[in-house]
Structure 1
Amino acid sequence: MARWLPAALCALGVVLDFATPRDVSVSAPFAAAPLAAAAFLGLRGTVLTGILSSGATILFSVFHDSGNVLEAEARSITIVTVSVLAVGVNYVLLRSGSRLASARSIAEAVQYAVLPTPPSHVGALSVATRYRAAQAEARIGGDFYAAEETPYGVRLLLGDVRGKGLDAVAAVVLLVGAFREAAEREATLPGVAARLDRALQRDAHRLQGAARLEDFSTAVLVEVVDPSTQPPNPPAPGASPTTPEAPGAAGGGQGSAAAENRAAEEQVVLRVLNRGHPAPVLLHRGRAALLEPTTPALPLGMTDLAVSPQQVDEFAFPPGAQLLLYTDGLSEARNPEGDFYQPAERLSRASFADPEKLLAAVLVDVAAHTGGRSADDMALLAVARDAPGDTSRDA
């Protein structure tokens, strides 16, 4: 509708000039029309609007208005000058817009190169991701995620690098690349995290001053594995992860095959290593629970400050369950009253057919919570186990 504003202003100027006495001249709408065209129209539209405004002013001065001749000439010169300036402003805006569009497309390409969208299925898991920048124009941030199928199970990474801009992007590239290599080679999650630590520490040497001490990232690493078919994943020295007993009968007897099948279905577990990041949310049968770490740990890149135990916690991951990983852009989103968004509380008593629907619902819900305002970037990663007999993957 804004594109019609220049024409509406010209029409208003004509109506007002005819509606007022001949010794009264109304030139403000004619002066405003070219400026509005410069903001909302292209170069051709701005030129045509300037010609129309200038021509109408000159015609009214010559054939309709009966005021002072000098005033009429001054008014006409003013409108012509404003029209010429509007054309110049429009040209500058178009060039700036073209450059900005080019920069955005490059930034978007960089973002997709840094954070390629994982496939919809990784191993036996359904996967969905979302990245939302705090500003629609900003395509690059410090939030990141990755999902890899490895000999040790499906491994997930989601984190948030300190800072913004190119330094943050460089750290994201470093961490995602290091994770993809370490996930294939390291037998344990603490080993993967140690590789990420070393990568950030090496990267810190290129920085100067305070930035060198602030090159860190919060992160959560997750491994989805069936212990009966995968090599053991021992905890880091000094850690004692709590492993739930796999449901199922320990002894033989009638129906032992069915019991073993049920036990195999239920014994898939989540191994979670949290390095100073918001706790993931596990959803199952309308219940949502935060997977809080048993022992808090420092973020990646801060091991020079203190020796932090790397506690690997294990949680059951039954069929049909879904896991939501997110950055603090979600958990620190505030409503107008200043209340934080509570993912587990907001998602309790809700069920979702697949991770895509889960993330779509989360984005709608957090937008409703904040009134559409966003103060930080947000990265979301959701995975799900398909229930036995579920054929939705092939649908």
Structure 2
Amino acid sequence: MADAKSPTRSAPLSLGVGRGTVRSRARTGQETTAVEAVWKREKRRGKHAGSGTRQFVRALPALMILGGLLFDALTPPTFTAIPLFVAAPLIAAPFFSLASTIRTAVASILAVIALRLSSDTLPEAVPLIELLTLATVSVLAVVINGVVRRSNEQLASARFVAETAMRAVLPQPDSRTGGLQIAARYEAAQADEFVGGDLFAVSDTPWGVRMVVGDVRGKGLDAVETVAVVIGAFREAAEQEHSLAGVAGRLERALAREEARRGGLDVLEGFITAVLAEIPPGSARVRIVNRGHPEPILLHPDGALEVLKPSVPALPLGMSLGVWPERTDEWDLPAGTTLLLYTDGLSEARNAEGVFYDPAARLRGRVFPGPEELLSALTDDVRLHTGGESTDDMALLAVVRPAEGQPDRRRTVRIVGAEAT
């Protein structure tokens, strides 16, 4: 058996109507409930993000009304505070509920009426025009509130569709597969984005647990289409190919078919960096094929760390610039060791000074109870490093070979509304 720090190279391989209406209404009700759940969750998320600023904005309409009352009391009669009273319902409209917006408008109108009654000027023309102006603006504020609410519901619906599509393309792997503890996570660069070009997949096959983590060059729907093609090809190939190199070859051919279907892809835009790994049943070894992807990391139970660099660098999948035999490297995988696979959204995350995030340096010497804790600590550390300003999506996959007698730490998947992660 080869030393863990000296990868060994495997041999090169070649390459009725009423009833239907009821069902339809039931589905519509379920979808509406799910969309409302996403919308409420986004509102809760917004409350946590920038809570200080949000609290100030929510207090602003009341401050406007109080400021108007003080201004009118402390200034001569020739000065008017009507702009402050007019601003209060307009500020409330996009941030408050309909009832709160109406209450704010009524409070502004009553405050102006009280001021004019106290000064005995209510029947005069100017105060009446001021009240008419305030009433008109209040009606507009209610209309604005309705428009904003409908827009939020449409946005929540779009997010629900995006999340559902992402889960269909990238389903979460089982937390316990082939005797291994597994955790996966997809972190979008922007909080309101759910689809992108990063991918992961895990399959329990007759040849062991096989996994892939990759990054499609480019963004948008084209990248998502390529992700779907790669994931589908991987799941089929992982069950049929005898070697990990054979799986990589199948992915290459699947990308070639996709290129032909689209009428040709730019060689600089149509490729994907990927790392494939295989842990045979009952084996203390891990096999890896790296196609131009960031090197995986092995974290040992004592805090020691290894960066698994390929013995021979290889081009990404889909770059038809030549034909080379696939190289499969092997490393020891002792009990309690964690294998971390990730995309360059992690290793190329920069801070305000432009310094890249170094996962090996950040993780060296640290010990984690399980794969979920590792990924949580890693994502939190990246946000701290970048100040929450990441510019690229990030896919993470952590696999732990449990030590003998270690309890089965199963991960609970949280279900939000009608969607499951």
Which residue pairs with 2:80 in the alignment? 25
**What is the correspondence of 1:169-188 to structure 2 with a 5 Å cutoff?**
169-188=224-243
Residue 295 (1) aligns with residue 312 (2):
yes
Any idea what SS the aligned residue of 1:126 has? Answer: strand
TM-superposed deviation, 1:114: 1.3
Relative to structure 1, is the Cα distance of residues 206 and 57 closer, same or farther in structure 2, using a 3 angstrom cutoff?
Answer: farther
Deviations 1:298-356 (A, max 9, x none): 11111x22223421111111111111001111000111111111111111011112111
Q: RCO greater where, 1 or 2, for CA within 8 Å and sep 6 or more?
A: 2
1:57 partnered with 2:87: no
- Return structure 1 stretches of 4+ with deviation > 6 angstroms: none
Provide the residue aligned with 1:279 in structure 2: 295
Query: CA shift at 1:43, angstroms?
Result: 2.1
TM-aligned CA distance change 1:376 to 1:394, over 3 Å: closer
Q: Residue 80 in 1 paired to residue 96 in 2?
A: no
Residue aligning to 2:193: 138
Q: Distance in 2 between matches of 1:211 and 1:100?
A: 33
Which residue of 372, 382, 388 corresponds with 1:372? 388
CA contact under 8 A between 1:221 and 1:274: conserved in structure 2? Answer: yes
Of 81-90 and 100-109, more deviation after overlay is shown by: 81-90
Unaligned segments of structure 2, at least 5 residues:
1-54, 412-421
Match of 1:110 in 2: 165
Does residue 96 of the first structure (1) align with residue 112 of the second (2)? no
The answer to whether the Cα contact below 8 Å between 2:337 and 2:400 also exists between their aligned partners in 1 is: yes
What is the alpha-carbon distance in structure 1 between the residues aligned to residue 239 and residue 328 of structure 2? 18
Q: Rg bigger for which structure?
A: 1
Per-residue CA deviation, residues 116-149 of structure 1 (Å, 9 max, x unaligned), is 1111111021101111111111011111111111
Give a deviation string over 1:65-91, Cα, whole Å, max 9, x none. Answer: 769955434433332332222222211
Matched, 1:268 2:281: no
| Bigger Cα displacement from structure 2, 351-360 vs 62-71 | 62-71
Q: Identify the match of residue 217 of structure 2 among 134, 154, 162.
A: 162
Whether the aligned pair in 1 keeps the contact of 2:121 and 2:127 (CA below 8 Å) is: no
Number of residue-to-residue matches in the alignment: 355
Residue pair 2:113, 2:122 contacting (<8 A) in 1 also: no
**Equivalent residue in structure 2 for 1:346, among 362, 377, 401:** 362
Is the 2:259–2:265 contact (alpha carbons within 8 Å) kept by the matching residues of 1? no
Unaligned 5+ segments in structure 1 are 230-266
Task: Give the superposition deviation at 1:63.
Answer: 4.4
What amino acid is aligned across from residue 27 of structure 1 in structure 2? I
SS in 2 for 1:366: helix
Report matched runs for 1:182-331 at 5 Å: 182-207=237-262, 214-225=269-280, 268-284=284-300, 285-302=302-319, 304-331=320-347
| SS in structure 1 of the partner of residue 261 of structure 2 | coil
CA RMSD across the alignment: 2.3
Counterpart code for 1:207? R
Could you tell me whether the CA contact under 8 Å between 2:342 and 2:397 is conserved in 1?
yes
Quick one: distance in 2 between partners of 1:364 and 1:193? Answer: 32
Q: Out of 8, 16, 37, which is 2:71 matched to?
A: 16
